[in-house]
Amino acid sequence: MVEAGRKNISMDDVPADSIRELREQRAELNREVERQRERIADLERQLDRTSRTDIVDFVNDNPGVTSPEITQRIADTVPGRVASHLDALEGAVLSNCDGGYYVIDSDE
């Protein structure tokens, strides 16, 4: 039977090098957690960067905006969205060879 609780461990018995190594490992793991959080936040931003979100934000910022103004706004922001989509797809679904994109054949 396992008893739950805390066991008193004397840190005097643990070499200083081991403590330092554990602290370094903890710091590295904390850095990795932070990198993953940033990556998740970036992916969530990419997910939110759709034409629909852009339209709603643009209309919210510019009440009474006309349809041609909305169309122009979307046309102005397309290159940035396409570039981020290509970056996300490259390597997973698309390959870039000789300046052109090709679908990666999953059968190979």
> What is the extent of the structural domain holding 58?
15-103
Q: Is the per-residue pLDDT at 1 higher than 50?
A: no
List of E strands, 28-106: 94-97, 100-103
User: Residue 2: pLDDT band by 50, 70, 90 thresholds?
Assistant: low
pLDDT of 98 above 80: yes
Q: Mean pLDDT over residues 29-39, rounded?
A: 93
Note whether residue 9 is domain-resident.
no
In 3-state terms the chain splits into helix, strand, coil percentages (rounded to 5) of: 65, 10, 25
Asked whether residue 66 is assigned to any structural domain, the reply reads yes
Higher pLDDT, 11 or 17: 17
Q: Is residue 7 part of a domain?
A: no
pLDDT tens-digit series, residues 42-71: 877 776 666 677 788 889 999 999 999 988
Count of domains in the chain?
Answer: 1
Q: Give CA–CA dist 63/52, Å, rounded.
A: 16
- 92 pLDDT higher than 90: no
